């Protein structure tokens, strides 16, 4: 796609970036492009940024974006296609990424780096991410693989898709609910009980680390994870956001699934 092939020469002189996706904001910050961000959403991690909020990631204020006079607008995910199109219609240059797997998420670091004229930094960030993921895979390679259920929404219970199946496998688990690249979907009690997850991971969208394990325990699901008190809460950005935070999420999952392997690694 054209927006995914933005070249370094196009990005020369680009200084004003508005990021309308939390994943793009996190990635650009990891690339060292904080000083280029002149607008973000309420959903982005803006700590330490001199960049005003221009609305939410699904409902940005298009006029507020225009007032920031951006050289580039960043969007992500199929849910932001309308936002992408709205800003293209206004004449803004837009870079839009839609990773659906762990590998595509890492490759998007290169795309965003190229888009802001930080091509080398984008490649370096992707290279570092791949190295960290490979290290985790080596640590858990010879371990038994527990079944894991990852829930990104609790009403109704929704199994996480996209890159989460990849993340679970990289962390040394089995994920029988979805294949990598498939969209998240509602699951039934029978499906979860038949899969018999050894671990349940709550990373509910928008909840950060505030999800309550009792949400799962109160359902009275007959699964090993509940019986052995292996219901974990992780910050939703660690698994829901296709940014460098996702690599942190794989490492966090591995620490919960295989604490001995991670401890032994030092």
pLDDT tens column, 177-214 = 999 999 999 999 999 999 999 999 999 998 889 999 99
Q: Residue 222: what pLDDT?
A: 96
Closest CA to 249 of 207, 214, 201: 201
- Grade residue 14 by pLDDT with cuts at 50, 70 and 90: confident
Question: 13: alpha, beta or left, given left = phi > 0 and alpha = psi -120 to 50?
Answer: left
Does this chain's domain 2-134 share its CATH topology with 144-265? Answer: yes
- Grade residue 261 by pLDDT with cuts at 50, 70 and 90: confident
Span 49-70, pLDDT tens digits: 999 999 999 999 999 999 999 9
Q: Residue 34: what pLDDT?
A: 93
Closest CA to 239 of 204, 192, 195, 199: 204
Angle subtended at Cα 77 by Cα 199 and Cα 165, rounded to the nearest 5 degrees: 25
Main-chain dihedrals φ then ψ at residue 60, nearest 5 degrees = -70, 155
Please state which CATH class domain 144-265 belongs to: alpha beta
Span 82-100, pLDDT tens digits: 999 999 999 999 999 999 9
Q: Where are the domains of the chain?
A: 2-134, 144-265
Q: How many percent of the chain have pLDDT more than 90?
A: 90
Please state which CATH class domain 2-134 belongs to: alpha beta
Q: Residue 263: what pLDDT?
A: 65
Average pLDDT over residues 10-22: 81
Closest CA to 90 of 36, 20, 33, 41: 20
Span 116-129, pLDDT tens digits: 999 999 999 999 99
Judge whether residue 233 has pLDDT over 90: yes
Judge whether residue 262 has pLDDT over 90: no
DSSP assignments along 69-116, one per residue: --SEEEEESGGGHHHHHHHHHTT--EEEE---SHHHHHHHHHHHHHHT
- Grade residue 148 by pLDDT with cuts at 50, 70 and 90: very high
- Please state, in angstroms and as integers, the Cα–Cα distance from residue 149 to each residue in 49, 71, 184, 243, following that order: 35, 42, 12, 22
**Cα separation, 148 vs 165, whole angstroms:** 9
């Amino acid at each position: 796609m054209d927006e995914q092939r933005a070249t370094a020469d196009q990005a020369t002189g680009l200084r004003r970036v508005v990021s309308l996706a939390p994943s793009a904001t996190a990635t650009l910050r990891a690339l060292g492009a904080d000083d280029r961000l002149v607008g973000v959403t309420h959903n982005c991690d803006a700590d330490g940024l001199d960049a005003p909020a221009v609305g939410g990631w699904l409902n940005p204020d298009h006029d507020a974006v225009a007032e920031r006079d951006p050289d580039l607008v960043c969007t992500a995910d199929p849910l932001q296609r309308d936002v992408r199109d709205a800003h293209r219609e206004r004449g803004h240059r837009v870079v839009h990424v839609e990773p659906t797997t762990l590998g595509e998420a890492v490759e998007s670091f290169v795309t965003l780096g190229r888009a802001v004229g930080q091509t080398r930094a984008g490649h370096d960030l992707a290279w570092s991410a791949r190295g960290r993921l490979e290290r985790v895979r080596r640590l858990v390679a010879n371990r038994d693989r527990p079944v894991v259920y990852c829930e990104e929404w609790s009403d109704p219970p929704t199994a996480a898709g996209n890159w989460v199946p990849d993340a679970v496998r990289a962390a040394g688990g089995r994920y029988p609910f979805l294949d990598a690249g498939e969209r998240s979907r509602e699951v039934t009690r029978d499906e979860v009980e038949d899969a018999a997850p050894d671990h349940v991971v709550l990373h509910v969208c928008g909840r950060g680390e505030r999800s309550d394990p009792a949400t799962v325990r109160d359902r009275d699901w007959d699964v090993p994870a509940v019986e052995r008190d292996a219901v974990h809460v992780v910050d939703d950005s660690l698994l829901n956001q296709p940014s460098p935070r996702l690599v942190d999420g794989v490492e966090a999952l591995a620490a919960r699934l295989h604490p001995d392997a991670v401890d032994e690694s030092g």
